[in-house]
């Protein structure tokens, strides 16, 4: 395969092609003259016809193997590369569509679930809240983004929350525990899970708060 590619590149050079054809004509003409020397003297017309016939007989396979065949191989290789590229593009499109559909399904599930779901960073600032938790907190939009957990909870709740978030960041593990909410006067089961960033390190913690009973 490597040798084929090398020959294709060599014969696609216009100067190389011209030299090959000229050399082929020169050698073919020498051979023609050598062959004609064995014939008795011919008329000019017969000599020209025989010269052209022998020259064509020699040059056709030379041009085919040295010019046409390499170009055909290159064209076929380009067609295969184009098909492979097109197949890759189609596969990428299908992957993107599938990913978008998965994201839409996940977003729909997260936004319509009856559990509170939210994300905080390493400084205990809100990054995201689903609709259920926004309503619990009294937010109508994204005004919560970048605001600290401590702004909306008591010192006791904040200390407890910080302890759990730190445990996830330090141990890269999930934490689950029961939590009596002062705001709702209800009891919840909280699950803290690590969210990795592009570099593989923990970038945030997701919290799923599921109501299990009233106080």
For 22-46, the pLDDT digits (tens) are 887 787 778 777 777 777 676 778 7
Residue 1 — very low, low, confident or very high, per pLDDT cuts 50/70/90? very low
Domain that holds residue 102: 2-107
Residue 181 CA to residue 202 CA, distance in Å, equals 27
Q: What is the pLDDT of residues 48-85, one digit of tens each?
A: 787 778 777 777 777 777 777 777 777 888 888 888 88
pLDDT at 10 over 90: no
Tell how strand 175-181 and strand 116-120 pair up.
Answer: unpaired
Q: Which of 72, 107, 142 is the last residue of a domain?
A: 107
**Shared domain check, 136 and 39:** no
More confident residue, 13 or 30: 30
Question: In the structure, what pLDDT confidence band is assigned to residue 214 with cuts at 50, 70 and 90?
Answer: low
Quick check: 8 pLDDT over 60? no
The reply to whether 64 and 150 lie within a common domain is no
Res 13 pLDDT > 50: yes
Tell me how far apart the terminal alpha carbons of the chain are, to the nearest angstrom: 76
How crowded is residue 8: how many other Cβ atoms within 10 Å of its Cβ?
17
Same domain for 143 and 85? no
Helix H or strand E encompassing 172: none
Same domain, 139 and 197: yes
Nearest alpha carbon to residue 67 among 17, 26, 23: 17
pLDDT tens digits, 120-162: 999 999 999 999 999 989 998 889 999 999 999 999 999 999 9
Could you give the dihedral angle defined by the CA atoms of residues 153, 158, 161 and 165, in that order, rounded to the nearest 10 degrees?
120
Give every CB contact of residue 176 below 8 A, 6+ residues apart in sequence. Answer: 189, 190, 191, 192
Mark whether 97 and 126 lie in a shared domain. no
Q: How many domains does the chain have?
A: 2
Place of tokens 């085919």: 64
Is 208 within 8 Å of 179 (Cβ atoms)? no
At 179, which CATH number? 3.30.450.20
User: Is 2's pLDDT higher than 50?
Assistant: no
Integer Cα distance of 143 and 187 in angstroms: 26
Residue 5 pLDDT: 53
SS3 212: strand
Residue 157: predicted pLDDT: 92
Note whether 8 and 101 are same-domain residues: yes
Asked whether residue 167 falls in the same domain as residue 102, the answer is no
Clarify whether residues 27 and 123 are in a common domain: no
Indicate if 6 and 99 belong to the same structural domain.
Answer: yes
């Amino acid at each position: 395969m490597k040798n084929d590619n090398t020959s294709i590149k060599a014969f696609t050079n216009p100067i190389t092609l011209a030299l090959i054809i000229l050399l082929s004509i020169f050698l073919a003409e020498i051979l023609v003259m050598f062959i004609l020397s064995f014939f008795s003297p011919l008329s000019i017309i017969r000599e020209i016809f025989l010269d052209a016939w022998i020259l064509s007989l020699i040059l056709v396979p030379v041009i085919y193997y040295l010019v046409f065949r390499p170009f055909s191989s290159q064209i076929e290789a380009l067609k295969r590369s184009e098909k492979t590229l097109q197949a890759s593009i189609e596969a990428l499109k299908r992957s993107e569509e599938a990913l978008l559909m998965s994201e839409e399904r996940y977003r729909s599930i997260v936004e319509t679930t009856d559990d509170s779901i939210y994300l905080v960073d390493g400084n205990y600032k809100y990054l995201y809240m689903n609709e259920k938790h926004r309503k619990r907190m009294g937010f109508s939009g994204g005004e919560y983004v970048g605001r600290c957990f401590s702004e909306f909870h008591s010192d006791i709740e904040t200390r407890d929350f910080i302890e759990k978030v730190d445990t996830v960041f330090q141990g890269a593990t999930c934490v689950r525990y029961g939590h009596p909410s002062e705001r709702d006067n209800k009891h919840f089961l909280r699950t803290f899970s690590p969210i990795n960033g592009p570099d593989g390190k923990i970038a945030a913690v997701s919290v799923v708060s599921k109501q299990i009973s009233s106080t």
